Homo-oligomer: A and B are copies of this chain.
Amino acid sequence: MRSQDLEEMRRIPFFRSVEPGQVEAMLRGAFLQRFPAHVELIHTGEPADFLHVVVEGTVEMFSVHRDRETTLGVSGPGDSFILAAVLFDRPYLQSARALLASRILMVPADAVRQAFAADAGFARAIAENLALAYRGVIKELKNQKLRSGLERLANWLLTHDAENGSTGHFDFPFDKKVLAARLGMAPEVLSRSFAALGAYHVVVHGPSVVIQDVAALRKLAHPCSTIDGTSL
């Protein structure tokens, strides 16, 4: 790894509360790798050899069972994934693929485990990371089980708008196909859902969305702090 890359890695939030020596040790055996879009980074069931951290790009976490596939989450810059599997040397429960061309930091699993054992600050940072990840999945599970597809879409629109300045209009950060998977529905259903949102003054034109009446959309969505958003 080049020294300017090393500098960049040190600034990753994940390493912030780690002793400099431990960061060195972890980065010594690490790779910073570029992946083109659509490439599969890890595969469900394989042993956890590396901790992956997204430096740049977007990664989709998904899983396949028999002839069905489902998206479990999407990770962006600064996010690590499959930390739980790496820490305790278990097989991955999820697969990951790059949605965009991405730069991924890959830290050997035993280096992570060693730092976890040696550095209490790192252990606490990991606990915090896992706690937030856990709460994220619980929210996703509630989102899936307690809401209809239309409600999930309405809430996604509101959340995404809020994360981008609440202007009421934005472009989709990925294909609608991917959005459908992320919301847990077939692409056709997403299409129909957009049509249904016309009644709530949501206008979709190609890759752009306009929310003309936030109040109406909120009334449909019933956003809830214990399901939506990352603040809690």
Question: Which residues of A come within 8 Å of B, CB atoms?
Answer: 44-45, 63, 65-66, 68, 70, 72, 83-85, 87-88, 90-94, 116-117, 120, 123-124, 126-128, 130-135, 137-142, 144-147, 184, 222, 224-227, 232
Contact = CB atoms under 8 A, between A and B. Distances in A.
A137 B117 CA distance: 25
B65 A147 contact: yes
A144 to B, nearest CB: 6
Given A131-B84, A145-B184, A138 B226 contact: no
Contacts of A132: 84, 88
A232 B91 CA distance: 7
Nearest to A85: B135
A160 B173 CA distance: 43
Interface of A is mostly: helix
B142 A93 contact: yes
Contacts of A147: 65
A225 B93 CA distance: 9
B141 A226 contact: no
A174 B137 CA distance: 26
Contact of A90 (B68, B123, B232): B232
A131 B128 CA distance: 11
11 contacts: A45-B226, A66-B146, A70-B142, A72-B138, A84-B131, A87-B128, A88-B132, A93-B226, A120-B123, A130-B130, A130-B134
Nearest to A92: B226
A137 B135 CA distance: 10
Contacts of A65: 142, 146-147, 222, 224, 227
A131 B45 contact: no
A45, A88, A128, A134: which has the most chain B beta carbons within 10 Å?
A: A134
